[in-house]
Amino acid sequence: MIFRQLFDPVSSTYTYLLSCEQSHQAVIIDPVFEQHARDTALIRELQLDILYVLDTHVHADHVTSAWVLAKVLGAEIVMSKHAGAEGVDVLVDHGDVLAYGDCSLQVRATPGHTDGCITYVTNDETMAFTGDCLMIRGAGRTDFQGGSAHIMWQSIREQIFTLPEDCLIYPGHDYFGRTVSTVAEEKRFNPRIGGEAKEEDFVGYMDNLGLAHPKLIDIAVPSNLKCGRPDHDALPEEITWGPVTVTFAGIPEIRPDWVARHLDQLYVLDVRSPEEFDGELGHLNGAALIPLDEVRKRLDEIPHDRPIVTVCQSGKRSSMAAEILLNAGFEEVANVAGGLIQWSRLALPFRDL
């Protein structure tokens, strides 16, 4: 299985990407709105076909990107039928199974943090995505959204602690940088429900957490009850001047064949050395040469009236140049993916025929 754990540092949320190795059919669990571009870049680079976007519950602290991802990737939104959300494509309940290629996730109802909380368990029972039910050495709060410490006690004891001892626990959040635990570890060391804890110990602990409400609760809950669907169905703004995609590394890249057809409307910045510029690989018609080492001090030579595409031998130095230009305030900038090596491989023209 292909597996990635992603993090949103603002809300301390973990997002999980799970995919079947053979078919590349995949699911994403608990994606965060502000991270949708990062997540789609990774999904594109790993060539995953997202079938389902899953939210473990209606979050109170951040807005989900479920609606955006479902729209952009053509996936279906999945939530518990007890969550009360509208716009859900697949309403699931305890015992349901969601398959992606040769892999599947079993739905376990684990209410307590909210009524509609789900724990997703992989078919081999090696991983459990517990959302805000059992967390690493903690548990999701139970003081709003229909929460109940008594119900959470039951959920954890009956649905999570009954999993194999070495089953990995992947929570919805961690506020201290911890990434993963196991059933055995939490049974032993969880300070709220581990060891000899009895129900009244757990409930007493949970009822006295004394946490302030999440800062975004008044925005997040109404929005998540619509699966993060924005007003007027506004999709996130896209780059419109050319076919630019931002990579998982955060670099705006542009398709070289489009660049070849639009050379006269672009400022082509070649950042190799003068020797390479006049060397074997050649250079693009009309390209300006500023070696990468000099870009920072020669910014005033670069025009602001048209998009800039940066180019070098393999697209590495030019991606650094693109970053320098973006940081310097140039807005329409992209790196020519694969550089002149790829340009040459594609037999794109170097000069007017």
Ligand X SMILES: N[C@@H](CCC(=O)N[C@@H](CS)C(=O)NCC(=O)O)C(=O)O
339 conformational bin, left if phi > 0, alpha if psi -120 to 50, beta if neither? left
Q: Mark 44-63 with x for binding to Fe ion (rule: CB under 5 A) and - for no binding.
A: ---------------x----
Could you tell which of Fe ion, ligand X, none binds residue 192, using a CB distance below 5 to 8 A set by kind?
A: none
Site for ligand X in 147-176 (CB under 6 A): 173, 175
Closest approach of Cβ 142 to ligand X, in Å?
8
Structure tokens that stand for 325 in this block: 């230009």
Closest approach of Cβ 162 to ligand X, in Å?
22
Question: Which of 8, 30, 115, 132 touches Fe ion by CB under 5 A?
Answer: 132
10 Å CB burial of residue 48 (0-12, 13-18, 19+) is buried
Site for ligand X in 51-80 (CB under 6 A): 59-61
Q: Whole-angstrom Cα distance, residue 271 to residue 277?
A: 9
Q: Mark 248-287 with x for binding to Fe ion (rule: CB under 5 A) and - for no binding.
A: ----------------------------------------
For residue 233, give Cα distances in angstroms to 52, 68, 144, 227, 293.
20, 9, 29, 12, 44
Q: Would you say 153 or 343 has its CB closer to ligand X?
A: 153
DSSP notation for 25-72: EEEEES-BGGGHHHHHHHHHHTT-EEEEEE-SS--SSS-B-HHHHHHH
Q: Mark 269-308 with x for binding to ligand X (rule: CB under 6 A) and - for no binding.
A: ----------------------------------------
Could you tell which of ligand X, Fe ion, none binds residue 186, using a CB distance below 5 to 8 A set by kind?
A: none
Structure tokens that stand for 87 in this block: 């716009």
Q: Whole-angstrom Cα distance, residue 276 to residue 25?
A: 43
Q: Could you say whether residue 236 binds ligand X (CB under 6 A)?
A: no
Closest approach of Cβ 115 to Fe ion, in Å?
12
Q: Whole-angstrom Cα distance, residue 158 to residue 146?
A: 20
Question: Which of 198, 215, 306, 351 touches ligand X by CB under 6 A?
Answer: 215
For residue 126, give Cα distances in angstroms to 38, 178, 253.
27, 18, 38
Is residue 33 a contact partner of residue 63, using CB atoms and an 8 Å limit? Answer: yes
Select the span of 37-45, 161-169, 208-216, 262-270 touching ligand X (CB under 6 A): 208-216
Among 341, 207, 237, 235, smallest CA distance to 282 is for 341
Q: Which residues bind Fe ion (CB under 5 A)?
A: 59, 132
Q: Which residues bind ligand X (CB under 6 A)?
A: 11, 59-61, 132, 138, 140-141, 173, 175, 211, 214-215
